[in-house]
Chains A and B, each alone.
Chain A
Amino acid sequence: MKKSKLMILTRAYSRGIGFWQQFGLSDTKSIRAEQNPLRRLRRQLVNVLLMLLLLVALASVAVMLVINFLQIERIGAMLGINGLSVLTSSVLAALILFLLATYTAGSTLFKAADLKFLVTLPVRADTIFLSRILLHYRTNVIVYWALMLPSYIAVGIVHGLSVQLIVNGIILLLTGPVLPLSCSALFSRLFAKNKSRVGRYVELVAFGLLIVSLAVLQGLMTRWARTGFLDIDPTQILASLSTMADKAISWLPLSVLQTRMIVSEESAGMGPLVATILHLASAGIATFFILRIAATDYVSVLNFNVSTQQSVKKRKGSPGKIEKQRSMLSALITKEFAVINGHNAFMFELYAEAFVPIILIAVYSVGGLMTDISSAIAFISDLTLFPFIFCGILLAVASITMMSSTSISRETPLLDIIRSLPIPTKRHVQAKIAAHLLMFGTAFVFYTVIGMLLLPVGFMHIVWMLPLGATVMIISSCLGLAIDYMRPMYQWKLPQQAIKQNVNGIIGMVASIVVLGIFGGLAILLVQVLGLSVMLSGFILALLGALMTIPAWKVLLQVASGLYENI
């Protein structure tokens, strides 16, 4: 009885929205329902292309990880620790999963809109809670798999494929994520009833921690790689690594058990079966208690959220004044930001995309990595193309974003208000591009100036970098918007779906990469092949970019008018 209710609740969530649809892909059923055979074919084709794109993106990341884990496994072999890669990945995956899941736990477990309705049903609170945990598992588990699988592959390559690897691998993939996810639930529960702004910023903190830990990790790896390859005394490093690994082993019994499940070690005195049982038992007990605590007073937390959602801060004192009349365009730009600020998920994603590099630079400087980086850069700064490389990297940071390519998806629930107003398509689109430039253009200018202060790039190059940057960003923004206008994501229940799980965002990023690639190729052509000066090439590229904005704009207008005017 209870179990069936749990299944109903879990399934109810995804009713009406197919698995692929939550990523913005059309599902097969809706394609089959399409009457026009030509259109059906086109939609099928688009779908297949999109899936291929996703697979390629995932595969390339996976290959990189596998290579890294192979190296780690080999180093482990030198230290006499079998399965070091599994140990690393299990710690890494648990940590990253925990941080990433904390960032969305609140909205899935405690604040989702449908919970208001669910609490009124004759279902036990524990059942609702458990169903939300299952959902939480379902949305986040893929991250864990993406990080764990490469290490299994590395182990398979080094130690050979075995039944133990496959069976325990599967068991671990399924059960491994449970504990970190439970911890994230507990963590966000601790702040779920906090009336102050702390509660709201827990997610931000988790996100910040995630970024910082990724940066630190990356920094460590680079550092490690440098010392590992450049310094002379490998035995010393091995010794220090070995003590590090020993420390890790004594600190992380669960990860060690997980490692022993995958790779046996005679000295451990424990077979894979014992390791599995021990791991399942200990993780299971821990999970049980953590979830018990996280589920305390679940109903009151839900009611708390229902009631606080109604009474958002009221401004005291003087009544809000209307200071001045704005143009339609600036009113629309304000609206763009009102949409972004309407959901934490949108804010974190977009503001982080624009300004995380600042955090990275700060972390790197603190970690003393900046000197390493600038010495590495000194090597390429002698190249004639260096100003272009510099500009290209900064543009990659500023223009590869989901800002435009999820712009319409983000506002679909409110689309009717804006569509019923007498606003020409042109203005809508201008406002969206302007919002893009306001956020990422500002970031670009900022990074360019800082970069020029830190690195040996002549300040005079700014005269072509800024216009070139502006045109490239406008082109990327136009392409991203056009993509989202063509197939906005209409039904989303959690804001994350409109942005993080939206294929349009990825396609938009790929489109920006292609644009950058084209300009990079042209730069090489102009400077290396034709032998023009950097300054002149920069101007030519900026001019070319300006010319390319025209067709991009035309296409965008055409597509966008279908939503607003040309209904």
Chain B
Amino acid sequence: MIDIEAVTKRYSPNKRPAVDLLSLHVDSGEIFGFLGPNGAGKSTTIRMMVGLLRQDTGTIKVCGYDNIAQNVEMKRCIGYVPDEPLFYENMSGRKYLDFISDVFDIDLDTRIARIAKWAGRFSLIDALDDKISSYSRGMKQKLGVIAALIHDSRILVLDEPMVGLDPKSAFVLKEVMREFCNTGGTVFFSTHVMDVAERLCDTVGIINKGALIASGTFASLKESTGENQATLEQLFLELTDEEVETNDTHSRV
């Protein structure tokens, strides 16, 4: 479903690449958790995956569509939740969802049913007719998730979707992600919450300084590091810390 092949991206020619020869494969029906410290290159990878940013080298295919040559077709099969929830603030939540539905050409009955369903599940119904400018951070985040779900895409790409959600909404979101995969969809999300990743993901990838340093199922990660009792949190700290240390010794020399 998602094929990233040797992708490199530099924001400026004299800095180190934000994403460095990254290769990743996510199969359909999988939940993939994308982990990494701040500034590791998660959002950059995601922005390339959803067709907002062009990679310098390498190829990215989502649903079989190339992110550059078939940009619009590719976007059609992705539901994307950006890391920062920005909207047309003077629209109401419902107007915004209506706008998204128009763009995805969803017929009237379907969209009304879906808006009711998702807004109900995320308890946003009461606020739906208020202006988005009156929403809290978490409400905006929920609106973003609903907007990504409403067109029934095959792939969900979420950049730190849990940020700002209350415990119940976070729980619902996890449920929704699981259901989404059970019905054949694919979920790709980045997060800093290790517990969520550990319990929810079929596979995880850990990125540090633009390079993928580990990927696979949680079990296979434990095996490869030889620490069978470790939690994902411990593995993450160990894997990313190692990198830092080797770099430190480099710079000291």
Contact = CB atoms under 8 A, between A and B. Distances in A.
Interface of A: 35, 309-315, 319-320, 322, 324-328, 330-332, 334-335, 338-339, 341-342, 413-414, 416-417, 419-424, 564-567
The 3 A-B pairs of least Cβ separation, nearest first, read A331-B102, A422-B75, A422-B76
Interface of B: 13, 50-54, 67-68, 71-76, 78, 80, 82, 86-92, 94-95, 98-108, 111-112, 115, 128-131, 133-134, 136
B137 to A, nearest CB: 11
B90 A338 contact: yes
Contact of B50 (A311, A313, A320, A420): A420
B101 A325 contact: yes
Nearest to B94: A320
B86 A414 contact: yes
A320 B92 contact: yes
Given A326-B102, A328-B103, A331-B103, A312 B72 contact: no
A435 to B, nearest CB: 14
A322 B112 contact: yes
Given A327-B102, A334-B99, A422-B72, A314 B87 contact: no
A209 to B, nearest CB: 26
Contact of A312 (B50, B100, B104, B131): B131
Contacts of A35: 13
A324 B129 contact: no
A325 B105 CA distance: 8
A319 B128 contact: yes
Nearest to B67: A567
Given A567-B52, A567-B53, A422 B88 contact: no
A330 B99 CA distance: 10
Contact of B54 (A319, A335, A567): A567
10 contacts: A314-B130, A315-B129, A319-B128, A322-B115, A325-B108, A328-B105, A338-B88, A338-B90, A420-B78, A420-B82
Given A310-B134, A315-B129, A322-B112, A423 B91 contact: no
Contacts of B72: 422-424, 565
B88 A421 contact: no
User: Which interface residue of A314, A315, A330 has the most chain B CB atoms within 10 A?
Assistant: A314
A420 B129 CA distance: 24
B104 A422 contact: yes
A505 B100 CA distance: 30
A322 B134 contact: no
A312 B133 contact: yes
Contacts of B129: 314-315, 319-320
A421 B100 contact: yes
Nearest to B76: A422
Contact of B107 (A315, A319, A325, A419): A325
Contacts of B76: 422
A313 B102 CA distance: 26
Given A310-B133, A312-B130, 7 more contacts: A325-B102, A325-B106, A328-B105, A414-B86, A421-B75, A421-B103, A422-B73
A50 to B, nearest CB: 24
Contacts of B67: 567
Contacts of A565: 71-72
Contacts of B51: 419-420, 567
Contacts of B54: 567
B103 A339 contact: no
Nearest to A338: B88
B82 A324 contact: no
Nearest to A323: B108
Nearest to A328: B103
A421 B94 CA distance: 18
Contacts of B102: 325-328, 330-331
A420 B80 contact: yes
Contacts of A417: 82, 86-88
B66 to A, nearest CB: 11
Given A315-B129, A322-B111, A567-B71, A331 B99 contact: yes
Nearest to B51: A567
Given A312-B133, A322-B98, A327-B102, A419 B86 contact: no
A335 B78 CA distance: 21
B131 A313 contact: yes
Nearest to A33: B12
Contacts of A328: 102-103, 105
B94 A342 contact: no
A332 B102 CA distance: 9
B71 A324 contact: no
A408 B53 CA distance: 18
A310 B89 CA distance: 11
Contact of A322 (B80, B91, B94, B105): B94
B108 A324 contact: yes
Contacts of B103: 328, 331-332, 421-423
A319 B73 CA distance: 34
Contacts of B91: 338
User: Which interface residue of B13, B101, B129 has the most chain A CB atoms within 10 A?
Assistant: B129
Contact of A419 (B52, B74, B92): B52
Nearest to A311: B134
A416 B82 contact: yes
Given A420-B52, A424-B72, A320 B95 contact: yes
